[in-house]
Amino acid sequence: MKLNKSSLIQNEIEDKINYSKKIEPTGFWTFFCNPKKWAIDDFLSKNIVEDSFSITPWQKDWFKKGQLGVIRVGHDYRNNNQLEGKKKLQRGIYAIVEVTGPPFISADIDEHYYEDTNQINYRVPIKYRLNLLKEPILLDEFDSHEVIYDKYLLKGFQASTMPLSPDTFRSLPIPIENIKGIPFEVSKTYTRKNIYETINVPINQQGGNWNTGYTKFNGDKYIFANINSAGRTGHNYDNKFIGDDFEWFGKRHHPITTPSIQSMINPDGNVYIFTREDSNNPNFTYQGNARVKEFESTQPVKIIWAFNDESEQHILPPEEIKNPSSYIEGTTKKISVNVYERNPIARKKCIDHYGCICAICNFSFNKTFGNIGEGFIHVHHLVELSEVGREYKVDPIKDLRPVCPNCHAMLHKRKPTYSINELKSIISKSNNSLGGY
């Protein structure tokens, strides 16, 4: 039966009434594939990275960018003409995918479908993060791999998609750390409600620990930190950025042995850090997926967080020092420059004020490179280190300027550094000299 848009919506409403009270979103997905209808082996053999997949209509509001899922292949009932000499597929997981956008209605199908149905359906854009065609995770071998039981994944279901247990996904014998998508964007602001919607936190699990500094959900840790501001509980911890590392303090009644602290030091999943400078502001800035760099068993516990997830974009100046603590005193001046120029809070305030255009040569990455250059710029610290005292606090508007990497490198070509005006003058003289040649 071919469905038009109105009948699709009617079926969606009826199914939602029948199933939605029994099934809840998890943030992970099982995508069901019937090889008799779609030759997934031919598709995967072409190593296509981006595509779309049919979804169960009444679940369409549950799909969010960054969620992960598995392509589950059921019994292969293809005949010899359809197989064309290929072996039948065994039941199993043949790919790990990531949701890359919201669902849409479409009747388009690719050449790997055996029948041209022209049936419209909801589809969701996906990216193939791991192709397992050559080494699928077979359902019959779940026990030997100690995969945690999930009813719909193991038994199947007459639907296009079903929520997948996060524990099941994490127990799969694959390198999850290499494929796990990040549902948040660095430097973007989120309210707690935004976060609930992004990762599908059930209503009965919202609030509570989410409002008290840190919590755990689906194996990931979420830290909400105030900077230069007391929290709503009245505690004013000295949370701050030291360069692009974040110095953070736990709750006073949580010693180093507390399970919640231990799960940060030795995390099973990601550690997402959000910060704000005003406890009355509901918006938090997402700083990144962090890992512990150093920690001290103080009261409260102190942790230095490093943001080194390669899937996230953290802009660093050209003279980056990856491990400042290992350098001797004679190099601390260079480290100090980096500390001010790499502070993400100060960076953002500087860019919000001056924009992403080089203060020296007026170069714009966005104008030159389009979308991939949006938001990209270095930040230069104007104040000479000899003028920086013990109590110095950087002023993002007065002390920092946005500069392109080339101009930034030239500013640091001399000790002490060139001033903005000096470098402008050098460029002007060079242009005049070339023009008069």
SS3 403: strand
DSSP class per residue in 194-228: HHHHHHT--GGGSSGGGGSSEEEETTEEEEEEESS
Cis peptide before 300, with omega less than 30 degrees from 0? yes
Residue 170 CA: distances (Å) to CA of 68, 236, 270, 426: 11, 36, 12, 57
| Nearest to 402, CA basis, from 345, 369, 361 | 361
Say if pTM beats, i.e. exceeds, 0.85.
no
pLDDT digits (tens, 9 = 90+) for 298-326: 989 999 999 876 666 665 544 443 443 33
Q: How far apart are CA 42 and CA 73, in angstroms?
A: 13
pLDDT band for 113, please (50, 70, 90 cuts). low
Pairing type for strands 271-276 and 284-289 reads antiparallel
Q: Give the burial class of 168: count Cβ atoms within 10 A of its Cβ; 0-12 exposed, 13-18 middle, 19 or more buried.
A: buried
Q: Helices 344-354 & 332-342, crossing angle to 10 degrees? A: 60
391 versus 205: the higher-pLDDT residue is 205
pLDDT band for 222, please (50, 70, 90 cuts). very high
Backbone conformation region of residue 69, classed left if phi is above 0, alpha if psi is from -120 to 50, else beta: beta
All structural domains of the chain, each given as residue ranges with its CATH number in brackets, are 5-178 (3.10.590.10), 189-306 (no CATH), 324-435 (no CATH)
Backbone angles phi, psi at 128, to 5 degrees: -80, 105
SS3 411: helix
Asked if 409 contacts 318 with a C-beta cutoff of 8 angstroms, the reply is: yes
Mean pLDDT for 42-58 is 90
pLDDT digits (tens, 9 = 90+) for 257-280: 999 999 999 887 789 999 998 888
Mean pLDDT for 394-417 is 88
| Nearest to 128, CA basis, from 171, 72, 68, 74 | 68
Supply the mean pLDDT for the chain.
82
- pLDDT above 90: percentage of residues in the chain: 47
Backbone angles phi, psi at 368, to 5 degrees: -85, -40
* Token pair of 237 as six digits: 């911890």
Residue pointed to by tokens 């799909």: 63
pLDDT digits (tens, 9 = 90+) for 163-211: 999 889 988 988 655 565 678 888 899 999 999 988 878 899 999 999 9
At residue 342, the pLDDT reads: 65
Q: How far apart are CA 313 and CA 288, in angstroms?
A: 9
Residue 46 pLDDT more than 80? Answer: yes
